[in-house]
Amino acid sequence: MNSKKLLKKIKELSTAEQRSLSYEKIIEIINYLNTDEIIELSNIIGYPVFTRLCMGELKHKFVLLQDGAAAILLNKEGKILLQSRADRNKWGLPGGCQELGERFEDTIIREIKEETNLCVLEEDLKLIGLVSGKSRRNDYPNGDVVINNTALYCITNYSGELKWDTESKEMKFFDLSNLPENQNDADLIEVYKKIVRKQN
Going by C-alpha positions, the residue among 157, 200, 178, 198 that lies closest to residue 82 is 178
CATH number, domain of 164, equals 3.90.79.10
Residue 31 sits in the same domain as residue 123: no
pLDDT value of residue 87: 73
Residue 153 sits in the same domain as residue 190: yes
Residue 32 sits in the same domain as residue 80: no
Residue 102 sits in the same domain as residue 44: no
Residue 181 sits in the same domain as residue 85: yes
Checking if the pLDDT of 89 tops 90, the result is: no
Q: H or E element: which one contains 67?
A: strand 64-73
pLDDT value of residue 148: 95
Residue 8 sits in the same domain as residue 68: no
The mean pLDDT of the chain is: 92
Structural domains of the chain, count: 2
Residue 137 sits in the same domain as residue 161: yes
pLDDT value of residue 139: 87
Mean pLDDT of the region 41-69: 93
Confidence of residue 90 (pLDDT cuts 50, 70, 90): confident
Confidence of residue 39 (pLDDT cuts 50, 70, 90): very high
Checking if the pLDDT of 125 tops 90, the result is: yes
Checking if the pLDDT of 143 tops 90, the result is: no
Mean pLDDT of the region 68-80: 96
Going by C-alpha positions, the residue among 196, 136, 158, 195 that lies closest to residue 81 is 158
Residue 153 sits in the same domain as residue 90: yes
Residue 106 sits in the same domain as residue 126: yes
Checking if the pLDDT of 165 tops 90, the result is: no
Domain extent, residue 149, equals 64-199
Residue 152 sits in the same domain as residue 119: yes
Residue 109 sits in the same domain as residue 166: yes
Among 71-75, 105-109, 134-138, 166-170, the range scoring the smallest mean pLDDT is: 166-170
Chain Cα centroid distance, residue 16: 18
Residue 115 sits in the same domain as residue 149: yes
